């Protein structure tokens, strides 16, 4: 039996093209095709750096604004408490006023979608103070207690400018201000006319409440002034001319000279230019 003839090696390599099989492109062609596939272009380092810098320096995005009326207005709550107090308390005089709260301005309560209900916590409140309860009946309820006080006010004399010690006060040195009585110091003067003509016993800064502790009566006699000396001589009142050797307020001891005898004695300033001689 005859054997089939063997094909040459070159024919075997080229066989697929002659046997009807899918022809493969030459290796050189495949390699060339691989080099033609495009890769994504890389940005230069400088361009990347510039882009990052722009992102870092860009203005921040503003957050969405809060809806108007999300929180309950504190001023409205104080006004509501004042309204209740005005209705429940006796009518105030011209020298009285309400002090409400105050409610902490940082209080954050969700805005009530229904009218806030307000009422005194007890109908038997004190004459000058009470507590008002504010309550929100919403699905997310809240309540707040607000203190209400009635305070008296009074006019008070205040220095219009700094007063030097020893100055005799004039009307132009003072002004009148209305203040809560609880704020006024002990001995305050409610009428500036009381202080006019009195002497400042110490320096008084401007804008200070004038009190009776800061003032002394005007001088009854002044050094070098001619005065009348009054002496009691066995039930007989003797009057003679004299000269003041020191300043003196009413009922204060002063040194005087008897112009008749030249003798220096002490006396008590009883009124303007009158000194009572004492032994």
Tokens at 271, concatenated? 């009124």
- What CATH number should be reported for the domain whose range is 219-277? 2.30.30.760
Q: What is the arithmetic mean of pLDDT over 148-164?
A: 94
Give this prediction's pTM: 0.46
pLDDT tens per residue, range 88-100: 888 888 888 999 9
How far is 252 from 269, CA to CA, in rounded Å?
Answer: 6
Please give the backbone phi and psi of residue 217, each rounded to the nearest 5 degrees, phi first. -65, 155
67-76, 139-148, 236-245: the lowest-pLDDT one: 67-76
How far is 147 from 88, CA to CA, in rounded Å?
Answer: 14
Paired with 71 in beta bridges are 110
What's the pLDDT at 252? 82
Question: In the block, which residue shows the tokens 């001088």?
Answer: 219
Residue 115 has pLDDT above 50, yes or no: yes
How far is 225 from 92, CA to CA, in rounded Å?
Answer: 54
Paired with 227 in beta bridges are 242
Q: Are 250 and 263 in contact (CB under 8 A)?
A: no
Q: What is the DSSP string of 200-257?
A: ESS-B-TTPBPBGGGEEPPEEE-TT-EEEEEEEETTEEEEEEEEESS-EETT-EEEEE
Q: Where are the domains of the chain?
A: 74-152, 153-216, 219-277
pLDDT tens per residue, range 186-244: 899 999 998 998 889 899 999 999 998 899 877 788 899 999 999 887 778 889 999 99
pLDDT tens per residue, range 236-279: 888 999 999 998 877 788 999 999 899 999 899 888 789 998 76
How far is 156 from 178, CA to CA, in rounded Å?
Answer: 6
Residue 127 or 132, more confident: 132
How far is 90 from 22, CA to CA, in rounded Å?
Answer: 112
Q: Which CATH class is domain 153-216?
A: alpha beta
pLDDT tens per residue, range 10-66: 443 444 444 444 455 554 444 444 444 455 455 555 554 554 444 444 333 322 333
């Amino acid at each position: 039996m005859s054997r089939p003839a063997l094909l040459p090696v070159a024919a075997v390599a080229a066989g697929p093209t002659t046997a009807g099989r899918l022809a493969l492109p030459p290796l050189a062609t495949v390699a060339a095709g691989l080099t033609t596939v495009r890769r994504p272009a890389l940005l230069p380092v400088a361009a990347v750096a510039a882009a990052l810098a722009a992102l870092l320096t860009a203005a921040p995005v503003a957050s969405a604004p809060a809806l108007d009326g999300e929180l309950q207005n504190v001023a409205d709550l104080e006004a509501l408490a004042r309204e209740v107090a005005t209705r429940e308390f006796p009518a105030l005089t011209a020298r009285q006023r309400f002090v409400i709260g105050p409610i902490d301005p940082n209080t954050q309560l969700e805005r009530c979608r229904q009218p806030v209900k307000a009422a005194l916590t007890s109908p038997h409140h004190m004459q000058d103070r009470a507590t008002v309860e504010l309550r929100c009946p919403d699905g997310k309820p809240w309540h707040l207690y607000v203190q209400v006080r009635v305070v008296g006010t009074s006019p008070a004399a205040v220095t219009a400018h700094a007063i030097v010690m020893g100055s005799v006060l004039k009307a132009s040195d003072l002004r009148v201000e209305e203040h809560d009585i609880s704020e006024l110091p002990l001995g305050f003067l409610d009428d500036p006319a009381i202080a006019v003509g009195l002497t400042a016993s110490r320096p008084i800064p401007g804008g200070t409440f004038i009190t009776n502790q800061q003032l002394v009566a005007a001088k009854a006699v002044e050094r070098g002034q001619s005065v009348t000396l009054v002496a009691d001589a066995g039930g007989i009142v003797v009057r003679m001319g004299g000269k003041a050797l020191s300043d003196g307020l009413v009922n204060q001891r002063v040194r005087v000279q008897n112009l008749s005898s030249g003798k220096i004695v002490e006396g008590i300033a009883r009124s303007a230019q009158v000194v009572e001689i004492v032994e």
